[in-house]
Structure formats: C-alpha cells, structure tokens
C-alpha cells in the first residue's frame, strides 16, 4: 500500500497497478514516484484514463492510467477488438496497422498487431514506418474494418499516441468512438487483454501498397503541361525526422519534378527530433534548417511535414525575394482556390462537386467556393469530421478538396484523413502553374485578397497541464458561457454559437436556432464588423485555443501592408479583450 496523501480514487488506481499483473519495470517506475514523494507526477499519471479526443488516444509515455504504455494501448486495442466483433458480427475481421518514427512507435505497433491477431482479427502490418494518409488509403484499398496509426502527430518527443480508424478509412467519430471507449471501460483487468500473438493472422505489407497509393495521388494531377515546362522548379523539402521522407520525394518525382532537395540534417527518421524543439511545421523554429537551405539554393518552394506526414508547413518568396511562412489558412485558401479554378477552366464543375473546411478555418474559403457556385460545408474541428462528411456524400457528390487551419489538407477521395503527401504534390503543382504564367504563389495570394478581401487569422493556445490545468480550462469555458463578452476588438457581438448546446443566439433579438452538428465544447462569437472568435479546448493537448479571424477590403495590392497592419492591431485588441494575450 502507498502512504502518500492522495485523492482516494487516484490512490485506488495506483494500488491496483502495484498489485496487478503488470510487469516489474512498470511497477518500479510507479514505486520510484512514490519513493520521491512526487504527488503531482502520480496525480497526473493516474487521475483519469486516457480517452479518445479529436485525434484519438494521445499522451505522455510512461507508467499510469493516463499515460501511453503497453497496458493503456493494450486495453484500447482489446476494446477496439470487442467493438469490431459487436459491430461486424459474423464477418472475418481485418485491420491495417502503421507507425511513424516516434520513440516506441514500432514497439507499440507490434504490440497492437499482436493483440488484434490474438483476437483472431487479420492484420495487414506496415513493418516499416509509413505516413498516416497511406494507412487511411490502405484500409479502403484492402476492404478492412478498421486500422490503427501509432503516432502523436506533431507533439513533443515525450508523447505517443494511437489513432483509431473505421471501415471508411476515417478516424472514429461518434457514436463509434464512444462505443469503443465503452468497451474499453468494461475491461476491469489487464488479464482480459489477449497479448499472445498468432502469427498466421499477421501479413506484412509495404512496397506494393506504396505504389498503389502514389499512383492514386498522381492521377489527381491537373496541370501536367505546366509541370513539364517547370520541372526544374527548385523545391526544398524536410520530413523533420519523420515519415514524410518515405513518400513525399517519390510522389514529387512521379508528378514530374526533377529538382527536389531534401534537408539532409532532418532526413533520417529519429523520434528524438534532435534538430528541432518541436517537430511541428506550424512553428517557424521547425522550419529553420529548411529555410536556410532554401536561401542557399534560391528555392521556389519550401515544404516540411510533421512526423506522421499528415500536416505540411510551407514557405514562399514575397515580392522582396524574402521567404515568408504561410499559415494554415492561407495555404488552404490557395490550394482550394487552385483546385476549383483548374476544374472550372477544364469545364468540369457541373454542380456535383463540393469542398469542406472546419468552423475555425478561414471563411475566405466559403467566399471562394460561393464565387464558383460550389458548396462549402463546415464541420466541427478535427479532420475526422471532414472524413465523416465525405463518407456520407460518397457516390452522391464529388469531393474536390478540404482543409483545416492546423496545416492539414486533402485533395481527392483516396483517403479520409488529411494528407501531407498529396498536399506537397499539389502545392508544388500549384507553384509550377503560377510560375508558368509568370506569377508566384505570393502574387496569387494577393490576387485572392484583392478579389475577396483580406482575411487575417491568429491562433493563441494557452497550455494548462495536469488535472488542475484541465479544471482551469473548463472554468474558462464556463465563464464565457455564463458571462459572454458583449464586444470584442471594439465591435459588438451580434451572434453567439455554442456547439456544446447546439444553439445559435442572435444577441439583439434573443432568437435561438439549432446548429445541425454534433455537440462539441466550442464557442464562437461573431461581431458586427465581421470578425469571428472561437474558443475551444484541445482534444489532444492540455490547451485551450482561441481562433481569431478579422477581415477588410484590399482596394489595391499596393495597400496590402497597411491594411494588414490594421488587421494585426485588431487581432491584438481582441486577444486582450479575451484575456488571452
């Protein structure tokens, strides 16, 4: 029995782990925290069970019910197995498993495969690291009932995770994710987990699936002639020690690009991510080496993918020949506009096509789609909701492209998750397309702003770690609901959308309407001047995120810097009003 004064529920969980059939290494790690009197570490490790969020199961590696380890992943997998048997009774069940370059990812992938195989579920196993979107593709290609990707995406090196996928190749959404967790909660002992693998149920896959995946991406190319004329386009690419190195250079080659330069210092897969603070292409720091190489070779385009290659960051040159980073909203706007324009020029837009974005992604995309008379659907935050909508519309309408502000995009219907591999290929194609016209991505962006107005977005994420942090985040959301702001950035609030209660409130009239989306802990404030401010706790990290969007007209491209400066001031004022700055 432990002797520290802890919450009784936490104490009970710790005692169960010390007394249960866990390996000695796990028990020793727990005992070390006890011997050191580290109440905070014990509390954070045991105060809850890991749960599926917008990105699946994700957390810090280590011993504990709230940590990623053999037993939490084993429990999740056993629960997933039980769910599959309940859902597809009588069928021969099949799954695909893949992993990225993170510490323990391959070990966790093997463990997951073993549990599935022990449950008599046939496993297609990517023995070597592969990008997340290829897993999504493989589930669909092989007619599987689900799949698992072992990754923590762009999180720090201490993290790992478990993305669970359904039959459609998309991440699990409600009610499936809730059903899996219900099965997980039924497992009261790790003795209920089947760890003894059955070799006959595991098949290694790799190169043949790679070719099918890459061929599917190449079939999406729209501007082949422009690529041929611009095949020497200078492209600098970094996988940031992750899986992007497996697929991005090959797909760029297949598209026809002959001058792709990989950042050598970040080419080798390494879960320690030794050259960056965080392996996150959203952060400028993670792009440092790629930008350095780009300046040396005078590149036309710079791209970097996160460890599991579902997100991509890009840098382009402005009119002063300086490299600038595009944010996720800007890249999504450019990419979706390019795809729509190319389809329009080819005479292929016939009313059956659509695009998708999330509610916190730039509403410039809505304006672009409306101008082409193409529906733009808005989903909850998390690409799994985009994938869910694609599945609902499959065979009825044609999905062209989708994106979210967190650097995740998809072109084509081959997958049901964001795909940095196809995004890199299409971003390169788009660059070649504009260069072939004597233009650039920067000029294309200014042209968008001149036609539709400048949309400027800013994301602020406040980190609140551990149990106390989770409570603090919840208190902030409760405060916004009980006492919502009446104005932000000097403009009155006219509409408040609460996705948790699925209601939209018109402030002046008090009229309420229903939001036809699943319940989610998100608040949105719409101001009189067209600004949109969203507050949302992260589903995968101990953070609360504030998404702010402001806009203004751009009378002339020469006024860009002046108008942008005004919008930046407005953004800062909004964040001050929210107490997030």
Per DSSP, what are the bridge partners of residue 202? 123
* Confidence band for 5, pLDDT divided at 50, 70 and 90: confident
Q: What percent of the chain has pLDDT over 70?
A: 98
pLDDT tens-place string over residues 111-156 = 999 999 999 999 999 999 999 999 999 999 999 999 999 999 988 9
Which pair of tokens denotes residue 298? 């005078």
For CA atoms 219, 220, 223, 226, give the dihedral sign. Answer: negative
Write out the DSSP string of 92-140: --EEEEEE-SSTTHHHHHHHHHHHHHHTT-EEEEESS---HHHHHHHHH
Q: Is 345 exposed, middle or buried (0-12, 13-18, 19+ CB in 10 A)?
A: exposed
Q: What does the CA dihedral 47, 50, 52, 57 come to, rounded to 10 degrees?
A: 150
User: Which residues, 6+ apart, have CB-to-CB distance to 354 below 8 Å?
Assistant: 374, 375, 376, 377, 393, 397, 398, 399, 400
68: which DSSP letter? B
> What's the rounded mean pLDDT across residues 416-426?
98
Q: Where are the beta strands (DSSP E) in 154-223?
A: 159-165, 202-205
CATH code 3.40.120.10 for 48-205: yes
Side-by-side strand order, sheet with 260-262: 260-262, 235-238, 301-305, 312-317, 323-326
189 is catalytic: no
d(Cα 167, Cα 147) in Å, to the nearest integer? 8
Tell me which of 65, 117, 153, 531 is the catalytic residue.
153
Burial of 23 (0-12, 13-18, 19+ CB in 10 A): exposed
213-452 is classed CATH 3.20.20.70: no
Which three-class secondary structure state does DSSP give residue 262?
strand
- How high is the pLDDT of residue 470? 84
For residues 25 and 65, give the distance between their C-alpha atoms in angstroms, rounded to a whole number: 15
In this structure, CATH architecture of domain 454-578: 2-Layer Sandwich (3.30)
- The answer to whether domain 48-205 and domain 454-578 are alike in fold is no
CA 246, 250, 252, 255 dihedral sign is: negative
Distance CA 69, CA 366 (A): 42
pLDDT in tens, 52-91: 655 578 999 999 999 999 999 999 999 999 999 999 999 9
Given a cut of 50, whether residue 9 has pLDDT beyond it is yes
Domain boundaries, the chain: 48-205, 213-452, 454-578
559 and 553 Cβ atoms separated by less than 8 Å: no
**pLDDT confidence tier of residue 426, bands split at 50, 70 and 90:** very high
| Residue 539, pLDDT score | 67
Task: Kindly tell me if the per-residue pLDDT of 350 is higher than 80.
Answer: yes
Q: What is the pLDDT of residue 2?
A: 46
Kindly tell me if the per-residue pLDDT of 338 is higher than 60.
yes
Closest residue by Cα to residue 207 from 138, 266, 157, 153: 138
Helix, coil or strand: residue 67: coil
**Residue pair 155/442 in contact by the 8 Å Cβ criterion:** no
What percentage of residues in the chain have a pLDDT greater than 90?
89
**Closest C-alpha to 56, from 417, 478, 534:** 417
Per-position DSSP letters for 290-327, written without gaps between them: HHHHHHHHT-SEEEEE-TTSS-EEEEEE-TTS-EEEE-
Tell me the pLDDT band of 468, cut-offs 50, 70 and 90: confident
Q: How many CA atoms lie within 13 A of 229 on its CB side?
A: 12
DSSP state of 48: S
For 165-221, what is each residue's pLDDT tens digit? Answer: 999 999 999 899 889 888 988 998 999 999 999 999 999 999 999 999 999 999 999
Q: How many CA atoms are closer than 13 Å to the CA of 511, on its beta-carbon side? A: 5
User: Which three-class secondary structure state does DSSP give residue 364?
Assistant: helix
The pLDDT tens digits of the residues spanning 228-268 come to: 999 999 999 999 999 999 999 999 999 999 999 999 999 99
Sorted by sequence, the CB contacts under 8 Å of residue 333 that are 6+ apart come out as 362, 364, 365, 368, 445, 448, 455
Residue in 536, 562, 535, 566 with CA at minimum distance from that of residue 551: 566
pLDDT in tens, 163-174: 999 999 999 998
Q: Is 283 exposed, middle or buried (0-12, 13-18, 19+ CB in 10 A)?
A: middle
d(Cα 236, Cα 300) in Å, to the nearest integer?
8
3-state secondary structure of 51: coil
């Amino acid at each position: 029995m432990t002797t520290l004064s802890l919450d009784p529920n936490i104490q009970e969980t710790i005692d169960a782990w010390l007394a249960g059939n866990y390996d000695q290494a796990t028990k020793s790690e727990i005992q070390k925290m006890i011997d050191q009197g580290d109440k905070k570490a014990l509390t954070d490790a045991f105060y809850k069970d890991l749960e599926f969020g917008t990105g699946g199961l994700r957390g810090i590696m280590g011993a504990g019910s709230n940590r990623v380890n053999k037993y939490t992943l084993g429990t999740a997998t056993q629960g997933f197995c039980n769910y599959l048997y309940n859902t597809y009774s009588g069928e021969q069940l099949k799954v695909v498993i893949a992993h990225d370059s993170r510490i323990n990812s391959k070990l966790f992938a093997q463990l997951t495969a073993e549990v599935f195989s022990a449950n008599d579920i046939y496993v297609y196993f990517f023995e070597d690291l592969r990008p997340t979107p290829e897993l999504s593709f493989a589930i669909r290609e092989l007619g599987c009932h689900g799949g698992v990707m072992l990754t923590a995406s762009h999180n720090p090196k201490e993290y790992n995770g478990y993305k669970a996928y359904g039959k459609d190749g998309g991440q699990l959404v409600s009610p499936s994710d809730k059903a899996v967790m219900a099965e997980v909660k039924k497992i009261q002992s790790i003795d209920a987990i089947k760890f003894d693998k059955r070799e006959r149920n595991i098949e290694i896959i790799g190169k043949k699936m790679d070719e099918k995946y890459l061929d599917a991406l190449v079939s999406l190319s729209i501007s082949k002639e422009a690529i041929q004329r611009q095949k020497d386009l200078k492209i600098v690419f970094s996988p940031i020690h992750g899986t992007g190195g497996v697929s991005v250079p090959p797909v760029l080659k297949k598209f026809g690009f002959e001058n792709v330069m990989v950042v050598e210092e970040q080419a080798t897969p390494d879960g320690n991510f030794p050259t960056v603070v965080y392996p996150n292409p959203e952060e400028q720091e993670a792009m440092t080496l790629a930008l350095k190489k780009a300046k040396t070779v005078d590149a036309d385009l710079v791209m970097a993918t996160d460890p599991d290659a579902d997100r991509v960051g890009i840098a382009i040159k402005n009119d002063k020949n300086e490299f600038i980073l595009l944010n996720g909203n800007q890249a999504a706007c450019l990419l979706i506009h390019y795809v729509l324009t190319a389809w329009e020029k080819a005479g292929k837009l016939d009313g059956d096509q659509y695009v998708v974005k999330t509610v916190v992604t730039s509403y410039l995309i809505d304006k672009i789609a409306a101008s082409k008379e193409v529906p733009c659907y808005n989903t909850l935050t998390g690409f799994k909701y985009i994938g869910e909508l694609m599945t609902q519309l499959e065979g009825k309408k044609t999905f062209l492209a989708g994106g979210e502000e967190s650097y995740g995009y998809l072109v084509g219907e081959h997958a049901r998750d964001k795909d940095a591999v196809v995004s890199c290929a299409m971003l390169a194609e788009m660059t070649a397309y504009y260069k072939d016209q004597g233009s650039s991505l920067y000029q294309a962006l200014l042209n968008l702003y001149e036609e539709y107005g400048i949309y400027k977005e800013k994301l602020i994420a406040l980190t609140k770690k551990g149990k106390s942090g989770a409570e603090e985040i919840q208190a902030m959301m409760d405060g916004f609901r009980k006492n919502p702001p009446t104005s932000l950035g000097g403009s009155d609030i006219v509409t408040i959308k609460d996705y948790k209660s699925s209601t939209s409130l018109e402030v002046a009239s008090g009229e309420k309407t229903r939001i036809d989306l699943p319940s989610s802990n998100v608040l949105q404030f719409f101001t009189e001047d067209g600004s949109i401010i969203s507050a949302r706790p992260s589903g995968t990290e101990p953070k609360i995120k504030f998404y702010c969007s402001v806009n203004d007209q751009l009378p002339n491209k020469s006024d860009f810097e002046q108008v942008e400066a005004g919008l930046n001031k407005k953004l800062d004022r909004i964040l001050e009003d929210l107490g997030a700055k």
